[in-house]
Amino acid sequence: MNRDYNPFANLDLHFPKAYWEDVKRYTTTQGGDGDTSVESSPFKRYVDLWAAAIAVGAQEGAYVWIADKDAKHRFIQGSVLQGDLTRIEFLQLLAIGHSEDPYVVKDSRKVIEIAEAYAAGGLPILMEWLEGGVQSPMVSLTKNLIRFLNDATPGAEADA
């Protein structure tokens, strides 16, 4: 695949509006007066947190369709994925798996809609991981991810 390939370049990417303040808190892109240390804000960019929420939502089968456009917050345009072939392929493979239709990738908007629904389903889980415990969000997230991966991978033996 050509590194210039980005079928999502002209599409808007969204988070559920209900989680927007949380998203800003846990990314260093937030700006303003918030704590942007990696311990407090483990995700560098909004799109990084979005991708993590999609992955968690997909693994958990948490698909939450948000039909109301007013309940969504546009955080960036899909051009942010330019050159990120791994993430583009992830979104396309997720859409194929969800729809059971390999031709769904021809409809870039549908691919993003599926991804956004998994992000909406994965965000509450991700927020629980970030906010849970007495440790920093980074440590809490890391421990919860290890547990999550161990649960998702039978026979895995990592310490959490």
Domain assignment of residue 144, yes or no: no
Domain assignment of residue 109, yes or no: yes
- Please tell me which residue, 152 or 55, carries the higher pLDDT value: 55
The number of domains in the chain is 1
Q: How far, in Å, CA of 91 to CA of 80, rounded? A: 14
- Residue pLDDT, tens place only, 90-139: 999 999 999 999 999 999 999 999 999 999 999 999 999 998 777 889 99
Nearest CA to 64 out of 124, 1, 110 is that of 124
Domain assignment of residue 91, yes or no: yes
- Please tell me which residue, 7 or 144, carries the higher pLDDT value: 7
Q: Where are any strands of DSSP class E within 5-127?
A: 12-16, 72-77
Query: Where does the pLDDT of residue 159 fall: very low under 50, low under 70, confident under 90, or very high at 90 and above?
Result: low
- Residue pLDDT, tens place only, 52-102: 999 999 999 999 999 999 999 999 999 999 999 999 999 999 999 999 999
Domain assignment of residue 148, yes or no: no
Tell me, what's the pLDDT at 30?
Answer: 60
Could you give the 3-state DSSP secondary structure of residue 15? strand
Average pLDDT over residues 16-20: 96
Q: How far, in Å, CA of 34 to CA of 125, rounded? A: 22
Tell me, what's the pLDDT at 157?
Answer: 58
Q: How far, in Å, CA of 53 to CA of 124, rounded? A: 9
Tell me, what's the pLDDT at 75?
Answer: 96
Could you give the 3-state DSSP secondary structure of residue 76? strand
Tell me, what's the pLDDT at 33?
Answer: 52
Domain carrying residue 86 = 12-123
Domain assignment of residue 19, yes or no: yes
Domain assignment of residue 92, yes or no: yes
Q: First and final CA of the chain: distance in angstroms? A: 37
Tell me, what's the pLDDT at 132?
Answer: 78
pLDDT at position 8 over 60: yes
* Residue position matching structure tokens 């072939």: 85
Domain assignment of residue 1, yes or no: no
Domain assignment of residue 37, yes or no: yes
Tokens (6 digits) for 111: 């691919």
- Residue pLDDT, tens place only, 29-56: 765 456 677 888 899 999 999 999 999 9
